[in-house]
């Protein structure tokens, strides 16, 4: 597929996997040379730089822009491509890789580059929270707090995420939120409010089992309370796609939501944190991003 397109690779040297394995930069350059592609590689130098580089790629008539990094890099690149004819390619090599896992996009060494040769384009939805795009999941409450702490770490991964979560668990308190969906509105205590486009955070941690990235809807999971008695069972449910079975959880789905909390605070979009208003307006843009995914008949090698 990529052989017929003008492409641009955007490499984030500070993404968790890339920082530990800078060989991926050389791998990308070798891949371009080996297959004689109309493509080149550019490196990010600062936060949000990937968005600028992706916008420049569109201006230079690139038809495919490939993000080499984690969910944060994916978000920055994809944000520039929404609504354009330029498609997103993904070499998922971050700590969670939620969107990549949901779409079955393999990681480096498992067929990520080959997918660019044999893959096919798929249109997926974009979520927007107070003007901030997200493609995998956004949220507030405990997961936003954990994302904030996790992003400050030098060494990441599932083990580091678990340590960070445990360290913050006993200090975090649920907040009261009012959630409006269409004509319905309700108030709830919320430890976590997750709004998902895909079915998982990453690392096969399924916050919204059954969610689909192309159904024109977003899936909300409200974890009302977490304590020392239900924390472990909830964690097990997250990794066994059974979070719906907990009495501490409420699920709903729809194209738009408004969340009211007592005061401004943190939210995260695809793991990147932002401080925003007490009122969070969330909506979906159906089929607004083209992304390269494994073809149904392709081999994931």
Indicate whether 138 and 277 sit together in one domain.
yes
Indicate whether 136 and 244 sit together in one domain.
yes
Virtual torsion, Cα 41, 47, 49, 55, nearest 10 deg? 110
CATH of the domain at 111: 3.40.50.10330
Indicate whether 112 and 17 sit together in one domain.
yes
Indicate whether 120 and 137 sit together in one domain.
no
Contact 124, 197 (CB under 8 A): yes
CATH of the domain at 281: 2.60.200.40
Question: Residue 43: inside a domain, yes or no?
Answer: yes
Indicate whether 117 and 89 sit together in one domain.
yes
Structural domain containing residue 251: 132-286
- Look over the chain and give the mean of its residue pLDDT values, rounded to a whole number: 90
Q: What is the pLDDT of residue 43?
A: 96
Which residues are CB-neighbours of 153 under 8 A, at least 6 positions away?
Answer: 160, 164
Indicate whether 120 and 143 sit together in one domain.
no
180 forms beta bridges with 185, 258
Indicate whether 249 and 280 sit together in one domain.
yes
The number of folded domains in the chain is: 2
Mean pLDDT calculated for residue range 9-36: 84
Q: What's the rounded Cα separation, in Å, for the pair 242 and 237?
A: 5
Mean pLDDT calculated for residue range 71-82: 96
Indicate whether 162 and 68 sit together in one domain.
no
Question: Residue 34: inside a domain, yes or no?
Answer: yes
Mean pLDDT calculated for residue range 25-51: 96
Backbone angles phi, psi at 100, to 5 degrees: -60, -45
Contact 80, 25 (CB under 8 A): no
Indicate whether 226 and 156 sit together in one domain.
yes
Q: What's the rounded Cα separation, in Å, for the pair 111 and 288?
A: 26
212 class by beta-carbon count within 10 Å (0-12 exposed, 13-18 middle, 19+ buried): middle
Q: How confident is the model at residue 166 (pLDDT cuts 50, 70, 90)?
A: low
Mean pLDDT calculated for residue range 131-148: 92
Indicate whether 195 and 107 sit together in one domain.
no
Task: Encode pLDDT of 262-271 as tens digits.
Answer: 999 999 999 9
Question: Residue 301: inside a domain, yes or no?
Answer: no
Question: Residue 298: inside a domain, yes or no?
Answer: no
**Smallest Cα–Cα separation from 291: which of 36, 88, 129, 144?**
88
Task: Encode pLDDT of 180-204 as tens digits.
Answer: 999 999 999 999 999 999 999 988 9
Instruction: Answer with the residue of higher pLDDT: 216 or 4.
Output: 216
pTM above 0.85, yes or no: yes
Q: Tell me the percentage of the chain whose pLDDT exceeds 90.
A: 76
Backbone angles phi, psi at 59, to 5 degrees: -60, -30
């Amino acid at each position: 597929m990529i052989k017929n397109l003008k492409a641009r690779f955007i490499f984030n040297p500070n993404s968790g996997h890339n920082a530990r394995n800078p060989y991926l930069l050389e791998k990308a350059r070798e891949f371009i040379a080996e297959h004689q592609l109309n493509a080149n590689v550019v490196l990010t130098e600062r936060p949000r730089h990937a968005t600028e580089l992706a916008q420049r790629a569109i201006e230079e008539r690139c038809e495919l822009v490939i993000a080499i990094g984690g969910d944060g890099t994916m978000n920055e690149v994809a944000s520039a491509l929404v609504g354009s004819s330029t498609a997103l390619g993904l070499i998922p090599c971050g700590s969670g890789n939620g969107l990549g896992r949901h779409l079955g996009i393999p990681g480096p060494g498992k067929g990520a580059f080959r997918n660019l040769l044999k893959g096919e384009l798929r249109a997926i939805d974009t979520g927007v929270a107070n003007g901030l795009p997200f493609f995998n999941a956004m949220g507030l409450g405990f997961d936003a707090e954990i994302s904030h702490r996790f992003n400050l770490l030098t060494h990441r991964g599932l083990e580091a995420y678990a340590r960070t979560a445990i360290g913050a668990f006993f200090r975090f308190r649920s907040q009261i939120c009012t959630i409006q969906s269409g004509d319905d509105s309700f108030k709830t205590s919320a430890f976590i409010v997750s709004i998902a486009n895909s079915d998982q955070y990453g690392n096969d941690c399924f916050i919204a089992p059954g969610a689909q990235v192309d159904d024109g809807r977003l899936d909300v999971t409200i974890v009302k309370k977490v304590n020392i008695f239900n924390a472990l069972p909830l964690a097990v449910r997250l990794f066994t796609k059974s979070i719906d079975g907990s009495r501490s959880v409420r699920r709903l789905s729809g194209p738009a939501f408004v969340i009211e909390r007592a005061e401004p605070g943190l939210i995260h979009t695809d793991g990147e944190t932002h401080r925003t208003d007490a009122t969070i307006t969330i909506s979906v843009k159906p089929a607004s991003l083209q992304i390269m995914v494994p073809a149904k008949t392709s081999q994931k090698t």
